[in-house]
Structure 1
Amino acid sequence: MTTETSTETNPIDERKLNDLVGTSLVDLGATVHAALAVIGDELGLYAALDEAGPVTSAELAAETGTAERYVREWLRSQAAGGYVTYDPEADRYRLTPEQAYVLADEESPVFMPGAFQLVASAAKVGPELREAFRTGEGIGWHEHDEDVFHGTERFFGPSYGAYLIDWIESLDGTDAALRAGGRIVDVGCGHGAPTIRMAEAYPESTVVGVDYHEASIAVARERAESAGVADRVEFEVATARGYDGTDYDLVTMFNCFHDMGDPVGVAAHVRETLADDGAWMIVEPYAEDRVEDNLTPFGRLAYSISTVACTPNSLSQDVGYGLGAQAGEERTREVVTEAGFTRFRRAAETKTSLVFEARP
């Protein structure tokens, strides 16, 4: 008896094979690079490189109190990845303005070290995730490493600072209502970056941030004190289906609605707590409605994070809906209208975010 191998029955296309191997090598480099980007951020290597200008590895090591031989290898890896610029004639390294904006400016809306911190830390649940794949059980947000929470704040916080008020202004009449003195509740607030930004922008309004994760609420209160808005923003430990209050002019959810175990139930609770002319602003990762249209670099990132953190978090809760971070506009609309909302539209968007407005 003879058998044929899959290679014999399905001849390999050498070009496609080489392309896939090349992609794998890029991904292998990116995997290691993520860890080194975190080190560069934590040790202040990016910031020092930006401030010092073109430097040798010895000069950067002296500036940061690190060992030259490690710094030399780190700089070469960063230059190979396009994160650092190398001058071979002078044997010096620097950050271009674009590289500095991405890697050294913590106020930049495209500051990426926080994202590396988030992704590298989220991967630490590998053993639990493997077991979850076998059992179908979930992994709660609170079960992740503490750096996941800090990385989330550092990654998303600057973009909220840059775009948040524009997003609110895109809602029908909401900005004017808040400037006159309204009521805001930010659900799933985490460390409170957008909550605090709204308190700063609308001093006449009352702002409440809620999150079920007690440790994050403790950090949010500290952040509010540091920002000088603790007198007009409150933070409460509560779930998205159980937070208190009614007649809110604005309910916000930033990149967390897809994490909810029962998004329909959450949406129903939002509808109950909104004022009759209030608005619910839902910010979600950018996604098209069809899977094939999300097979992009950003889609890969979003689907991957959703596999590691978002979907497991949803599956850890009651109902376990598992909406996922690439649900798209129509799927989100279906969930929101199922809960009783009659108006739903895309109010704004960026390359990485969709901003929806829902009204009773």
Structure 2
Amino acid sequence: MASPTIDDKPIDEEKLGELVGMAVNELGAAYYAPLLVIGDRLGLYEALADGGPLLPAELAERTDTVEPYVAEWLAAGAAGGYVTYDRETGCYSLTPEQTALLADEDSPAFLAGGFQGLVGYQKRLSEIESDFRTGEGVGWHEQDEDVCHGTERFYRPSYETNLIDEWIPALNGMDARLTAGARVADVGCGHGASTIIMAKAYPSSEFVGIDYHEHSIEMARKRAEEVGVADRISFEVATAKEYNGTDYDLVMMFDAYHDMGDPVGVASHVRETLADDGAWMLVEPFANDRVEDNLNPIGRAFYCASTMACVPNSLDQGGDPVLGAQAGEARLREVITEGGFTSVRRATETPFNLVLEASP
């Protein structure tokens, strides 16, 4: 029998089988993403972590949910490896590792927020599809609220783990300056997670949290009040090219610079507002400089998120140039120096982030 072809090109059936298998696995993962968000919102993972092993009926009773839904939800999680099933008892549970991933918001491995953001992105799917042809954009302020909340929950555990103990000490002399008392601007602060972490760690310093999204600033003010650091932080609704203040000892941007429509203009404004001996800390998604070196699971996740959120926001703000979430150090260095900085160095890194220090 002749081998199958497409446009007279032979098909390698073994490779096709591998590709189909990969696609089926991806399809299951895509279907599981909203189920993960449902489990997160309804406290199913938390209840399973606290009280497991549990039968579906027991988990339903503890979470005020309905057994048929919970039973199917549990089986889906077990099939994907997110939940553990005991075939002898019919009970489900979470291992410590599964708990760290899905039920412990303080864990650096907690990723439920990333799935929440993903579900939020999909609510703009038709608009993004249209923008592929028009070149128009979607600003962060136009995204579903799950995008903002999910993004914060995705990044905050890493900030909690690394910001004070690893990233600030990697900057030249900055830890001592902050301890003594410094002026700090957190530009693109969102809900204020990074600003609040810094204010708690450095009570002698003065912080300004800045974001153009008014609702996010309202949320940041509320959270600063809740944790008792509102006296150390003021919040401002402004863009990264227009925020107020001068002579900042430190300007910070966390996973935000690549979203901006005029990154050179932003760099120029940061330079104008920074003290002559100050520093600009940019925390950016980890990326190598060449596309082929980013074709891995982390790069894939960031490229996908960038297509749905980062590039649309940049285009909404003019997009000149559009960096995207996988810009890489060399491209970032290029636009930062074009904005007036003379020195840019990689201070440190994690599997998910590059930490750059730019000096006037």
**TM-score if structure 1 supplies the norm length?**
0.97
1:227 aligned partner, one-letter code? V
Q: For residues 104 and 156 of structure 1, what CA distance do their matches in structure 2 show? A: 15
Counterpart AA for 1:98? E
Q: Which amino acid is 2:325 matched to? A: A
Structure 1 partner of 2:47 = 48
8 Å contact kept, 2:171–2:347: yes
Write the deviation string for residues 181-239 of structure 1: whole angstroms up to 9, x where unpaired: 00100000000000010110110000000000000000000000001000110111000
Q: CA deviation at 1:318?
A: 3.1
1:147 shift after superposition? 1.2
Amino acid at match of 1:16: K
What do residues 257-309 of structure 1 show as CA deviations (whole Å, max 9, x unaligned)? 00000000000111111111111110111111110111111111100100000
Runs of 4+ in 1 over 6 A off after TM superposition: none
Taking the TM superposition and a 5 Å limit, the aligned residue runs for 1:288-307 are 288-307=288-307
8 Å contact from structure 2 (residues 259, 314) kept in 1: yes
Secondary structure at the counterpart of residue 304 of structure 1: helix
Partner residue of 2:119? 120
Residue number in structure 1 paired with 2:248: 248
Matched AA of 1:347 = A
Residue 15 of structure 1 and its aligned partner are, at CA, apart by: 1.9
Opposite residue 152 of structure 1, the aligned amino acid is: T
Paired amino acid for 2:257: F
Kindly state the Cα deviation for residue 67 of structure 1 after the two structures are TM-superposed: 0.6
Instruction: Write the distance in 2 (CA, Å) between the matches of 1:10 and 1:234.
Output: 64
Deviation at 1:320, TM superposition (A): 3.8
Query: Partner of 2:318 in structure 1?
Result: 318
AA aligned opposite 2:270: V
How far apart, in 2, do the equivalents of 1:7 and 1:68 lie?
47
Whether the 8 Å CA contact 2:260–2:319 is kept in 1: the answer is no
1:340 partner SS: coil
Indicate the residue corresponding to 2:186 in structure 1. 186
Aligned counterparts of 2:205 and 2:279: Cα–Cα separation in 1: 15
Equivalent residue letter for 2:231: D
| Structure 1 residue 9: Cα displacement | 2.6
Structure 1: give runs of 5+ residues left out of the alignment. Answer: none
CA contact (8 A) 2:185 2:209 kept: yes
% same residue: 63
* Helix, strand or coil at the partner of 1:105: coil
Deviations 1:31-85 (A, max 9, x none): 1110000000001000000000211111111111111111111000000111011
Could you tell me which residue of structure 2 aligns to residue 274 of structure 1? 274
Distance 2:223 2:123 in 1: 26
Q: Does 1:10 align with 2:6?
A: no
Give the Cα–Cα distance (whole angstroms) in 1 for the partners of residues 295 and 44 of structure 2.
34
Separation of aligned partners in 2, 1:220 and 1:244: 18
Structure-1 separation of matches of 2:134 and 2:100: 43
Alignment of 1:88-107 (within 5 A): 88-107=87-106
SS in 1 for 2:357: strand
In 2, the alpha carbon distance for the partners of 1:115 and 1:198 equals 23
Structure 2 counterpart of 1:111: 110
Residues 177/138 of structure 1: CA separation in 2 closer, same or farther (3 Å cut): same
Look up the match of 2:356.
356
Q: List alignment gaps of at least 5 residues for structure 2.
A: none
Q: Deviations over 1:310-341 (max 9, x none)?
A: 00100011354210000001011111111111
Q: Distance in 2 between matches of 1:333 and 1:354?
A: 12
Could you tell me which residue of structure 2 aligns to residue 207 of structure 1? 207
Quote the Cα distance in structure 1 between the aligned partners of 2:48 and 2:319: 49
C-alpha change, 1:294 and 1:138, in structure 2 (3 Å) is same
Amino acid corresponding to residue 88 of structure 1 in structure 2: R
> What are the superposed Cα offsets for residues 233-257 of structure 1, whole Å, 9 maximum, x if unpaired?
0111000000111111110000010
Aligned residues: 356
Q: How far apart, in 1, do the equivalents of 2:330 and 2:39 lie?
A: 40
Two-structure CA RMSD over aligned residues (Å): 1.1
Partner of 1:343: 343
Q: What TM-score do you get using the length of structure 2 for normalisation?
A: 0.97
For residue 356 of structure 1, report the CA deviation from its aligned partner. Answer: 0.5
